[in-house]
Amino acid sequence: MTSANSARRRKPFPVHILVFLAPAFIIYTLFMIYPLLDSLRLSLYAPDVNRQEVFVGLDNYERLMTNDLWQPRIEGAIKNNLVFFAIHMLVQNPIGLMLAALLSSQFIRGRAIYRTLIFTPTVLSVVLVGFIWRMILSPLWGISTDFLDLFGLAAYDKPWLGLEETALPTLSLISVWQWVGIPMMLFLAALISIPDELIEAARVDGATAWGVFWRIRFRLIMPTVGIVGVLTFVGNFNAFDLIYTTQKATAGPNYSTDILGTFFYRTFFGVQLQPGNPTMGATVAGVMFLIILAGVLLYMFGWQRRMLQVEF
Amino acid sequence: MKKLLALAVILTLVVALVPATTQAQDKVTLTIESWRNDDIAFWNDVLIPAFNAHYPDIEVIFAPAAPTEYNAALNAKLEGGTAGDLITCRPFDLSLEHFNNGYLVSLNDLPGMEHFGPVARSAWITDDGSDVFCVPMASVIHGFIYNQSIFEELGLEEPATEPEFLELLDAIKADGTYAPLSMGTVDLWEAATMGYQNIGPNYWKGEEGRLGLIDGTIGYDENGFVEAFEALARWTPYLPDGYQAISYPDSQNLFTLGMAAIFPAGSWEIGVFRGQDPDFEMGAFKPPVPEGADTCYISDHVDIAMGVNAASQHQEEAMLFMEWMTTQEFAELYSNALPGFFTLSDHAITLEDPLAQEFLSWRDECESTIRSSYQILSRGEPNNETQLWEVSAQVLNGELTPQEAADIVQSGLEAWYEPQQQ
């Protein structure tokens, strides 16, 4: 007995845990952490006259923030990105929540069909979505003029993607159209997991339908609201593909749709005759990383911590 | 990471291929590196047999890569010493860098090189002009392609001067059935390439203005370069509705579907339009000259050339191939197979495609030049060419005045280009 016990005690190191952790740890380190750190390292270098990369400290960041060539671009990209994010937060997520609230109601028929239809665009390729919308909005072949004509509004039709004032909001709304299914699904999952007793109890106490939604259900899905917010933030500040497919890497007209992703792409890989500049590209990527990191930290310390106390 | 992986795959493939190419002992094999994978049938069926008619003992393999991968793949192969014997040269800085790194041999003494003038050589020559390292193959010429049936229907004639051109555009606009000019600004480059660089040489006097920019004796904010922006700004009323959101393929379709009368073009469009509709009747006129000008200038932009890999085992045979590329035979075969791509040699050739022949005939009437921003001026930041795209589109959109556009481009150039700083 005692010898068996001590034998068990002499085997304290659980090797199998390391074995199970190893694949994820190795792959994550190799393909995520190492490239990230190496990219940050690259942002501290610059080519010298002989095109050798030499250490320059934070010079690249200073250049990005103060140089007449770079500063308007990074400022414009951040501003546009904030607009892009704001439109998603103000349009996509409330609509997602509204759809989820409707779909969680027992009085609507064909809920599965609606759910599928609304979710469908999210599984389409962004290239396809960009192309379809470019066609729909095309002043030549598009249907937007005819559609507005139905309501007698044809005079208000514009080359939406070609004007500086309208291009970014238009693209943001296309993106909202495509991705609204994601917050809808997350909200829906949270809403249907709320125990019926709570809602019934509220009804018995005389709460109106709005009261039930706003005071009970919405409060209980606050953790999901936070997750949707942070997912939108990270997704938007990493966005690139939609702008690239509809407006190309130059993010026209006149950089009005230039967000951090396209700015990074142009800087790192170059465009047409403009050769790529890997070290400045890494610097732009570094700024993107810092912005996203700041946002996520804000979420984790400002929101998620408070949320833990509300969970049932 | 993805790029590295792709490189690794390419390198492995190349290494695997090497024994195959060195095994042939009696017959010398030359491999051609190229990005023109569209032309593979034409090389295999026409050019290589024509070459073998002269040199039956030299086997030539045309081994193209995808255009977007060519630069990276070629760089990797050259560094690894596994590139083919003959290298298709991109114009300007990429090939110059290869030469400066010792990957390409100098072709100064190549017999036949005298058939190529200074404009033709400009894309494959060292900055001081001492070494030329690629045999120029083809250029593209800018001009205007028009829909012949629309011109007949409205009783219009080809314009020679800018006032005539604007009159013509007014007439088409007054009729109201067709868009006068088929062009959009959303893709930016059309505004600069088919707009500014198309008509511009007439205003800045071709090479005189272009070389002046490089010397620093003239700026974008002076004389001809501003006038070219002003001329471009006059196009705005004649562009199709919603041109701010019309892309390059849109404008091509607009023209071939007969909805627009005139397409500001590069000669490469000939092949594209013929491919879309072989029976479509088109004519072409050269960029209209400003009133009172007696000389016309065309943008005869150098595009593609061929050089010899310095690491090639078969220098002698490669030189024979180069020499053959300077001949009339090659010039005629190449320009006919690819209508819209014109030989850069001074051989008199005839083209079967009348539209291509029309473009080519302008070389005899006008002075040739290349796009102003391509040689030397697009090395720095901000990139001269990219800036021209941006401001040209904004001039057409009415967001910038011609003078503002010129000032932006000039200050961009002054920011890094020393000769312009004095």
DSSP-assigned states of every residue in B269-335: HHHHHHHH-TT--EEEEPPPBPTT----EEEEEEEEEEEEBTT-S-HHHHHHHHHHHTSHHHHHHHH
Nearest by CB to residue A69, choosing from B250, B394, B415, is B415
Q: Is the dihedral of CA B320, B322, B327, B331 positive or negative?
A: positive
Given a cut of 80, whether residue B5 has pLDDT beyond it is: no
Q: Report yes or no on B236 lying in a domain.
A: yes
Q: What are the tokens at A89?
A: 């937060």
User: Mean pLDDT in chain B?
Assistant: 89
Interface A-B: count of C-beta contacts within 8 A: 93
B89 in helix, strand or coil? strand
Altogether, the residues listed in chain B come to a count of: 422
Quick one: fold of A71-307? Answer: MetI-like fold (1.10.3720)
DSSP state of B238: G
| Confidence at residue B20, expressed as pLDDT on a 0 to 100 scale | 47
* B158, B257: one domain: yes
- Tell me phi and psi for residue A224, to 5 degrees: -65, -40
Spatial distance between the Cα atoms of A140 and A164, rounded to a whole number of angstroms = 19
Given a cut of 90, whether residue B1 has pLDDT beyond it is: no
Q: Report yes or no on B114 lying in a domain.
A: yes
pLDDT band with cut points at 50, 70 and 90 for residue B41: confident
* B145, B134: one domain: no
DSSP state of A215: I
Q: Is the dihedral of CA B285, B288, B294, B298 positive or negative?
A: negative
Span(s) in chain A for CATH 1.10.3720.10 = 71-307
Residue B89, beta-bridge partner list: B305
Report how many helices (DSSP H) and strands (DSSP E) chain A contains, helices first.
19, 4
| Confidence at residue B308, expressed as pLDDT on a 0 to 100 scale | 94
Q: Report yes or no on B357 lying in a domain.
A: no
> Could you read off the pLDDT of B122-164 as tens digits, one per residue?
899 998 889 999 999 999 999 999 999 999 999 999 999 999 9
* B181, B277: one domain: yes
| Confidence at residue A252, expressed as pLDDT on a 0 to 100 scale | 77
* B31, B111: one domain: yes
Residue pointed to by tokens 């029976």: B279
* B165, B241: one domain: yes
Altogether, the residues listed in chain A come to a count of: 312
Residue B262, beta-bridge partner list: B146, B181
CB contact under 8 A, B386 and A162: no
A83 in helix, strand or coil? helix
Q: Within 10 Å of residue B38's Cβ, how many Cβ atoms?
A: 11
Of B102-106, B117-121, B208-212, give the lowest mean pLDDT range.
B117-121
> Could you read off the pLDDT of B153-175 as tens digits, one per residue?
999 999 999 999 999 999 999 99
Q: B131 to chain A nearest CA, in Å?
A: 22
CB contact under 8 A, A253 and B185: yes
Q: pLDDT tens track of chain A, all 312 residues?
A: 455 555 556 777 888 899 999 999 999 999 999 999 999 999 999 988 777 889 999 999 999 999 888 999 999 999 999 999 999 999 999 999 999 999 998 888 888 999 999 999 999 999 999 999 999 998 888 888 888 888 988 888 888 998 999 999 999 999 999 999 999 999 999 999 998 888 899 989 998 989 999 988 998 898 899 999 999 999 999 999 999 988 888 887 889 999 999 999 989 887 766 777 889 999 999 999 999 999 999 998 888 777 655 545
* B74, B132: one domain: yes
Q: What are the tokens at A126?
A: 């962004």
Number of domains in chain B: 2
B349 in helix, strand or coil? coil
* B116, B197: one domain: no
pLDDT band with cut points at 50, 70 and 90 for residue B13: low
Which CATH number characterizes residue B153's domain?
3.40.190.10
Q: What are the tokens at A134?
A: 């470019």
More confident: A3 or B99 = B99
* B176, B81: one domain: no
* B282, B265: one domain: yes
Spatial distance between the Cα atoms of B77 and B15, rounded to a whole number of angstroms = 10
* B146, B130: one domain: no
* B74, B116: one domain: yes
Measured between beta carbons, which residues in chain A are less than 8 angstroms from residue B385? 272-274
> Smallest Cα–Cα separation from A74: which of A273, A281, A294, A296?
A281
| Confidence at residue B21, expressed as pLDDT on a 0 to 100 scale | 46
Q: What are the tokens at A282?
A: 């890494």
- The answer to whether A160 contacts chain B (CB < 8 Å) is yes
Give the domain extent around B152.
Answer: 141-300+371-420
CB contact under 8 A, B242 and A139: yes
| Confidence at residue B8, expressed as pLDDT on a 0 to 100 scale | 61
The interface pTM score, or ipTM, of the predicted complex is 0.76
- The answer to whether A72 contacts chain B (CB < 8 Å) is no
Nearest by CB to residue B189, choosing from A68, A254, A272, is A272
| Beta-sheet pairing, B179-181 with B367-369 | unpaired
Q: Report yes or no on B361 lying in a domain.
A: no
Measured between beta carbons, which residues in chain A are less than 8 angstroms from residue B383? 272-274
| Confidence at residue B10, expressed as pLDDT on a 0 to 100 scale | 58
Q: Within 10 Å of residue B199's Cβ, how many Cβ atoms?
A: 27
- The answer to whether B91 contacts chain A (CB < 8 Å) is no
> Smallest Cα–Cα separation from B144: which of B118, B119, B166?
B166
| Confidence at residue B272, expressed as pLDDT on a 0 to 100 scale | 86
Q: Within 10 Å of residue A281's Cβ, how many Cβ atoms?
A: 22
Nearest by CB to residue A139, choosing from B245, B381, B415, is B245
Q: Report yes or no on B35 lying in a domain.
A: yes
A71-87 and A260-269 helices, crossing angle to 10°: 140
B339 in helix, strand or coil? coil
The DSSP secondary structure of B105-168, one letter per residue, reads ---TT-TTGGGB-HHHHGGGB-TTS--B-SEEEEEEEEEEEEEHHHHHHHT-----BHHHHHHH
Measured between beta carbons, which residues in chain B are less than 8 angstroms from residue A174? none
- The answer to whether B244 contacts chain A (CB < 8 Å) is yes
- Going through chain A in order, the beta strands assigned E by DSSP cover 45-47, 53-55, 270-271, 274-275
The CA-based angle B375-B379-B382, given to 5 degrees, is: 120
- The answer to whether B100 contacts chain A (CB < 8 Å) is no
Residue B62, beta-bridge partner list: B32
* B105, B147: one domain: no
DSSP state of B65: -
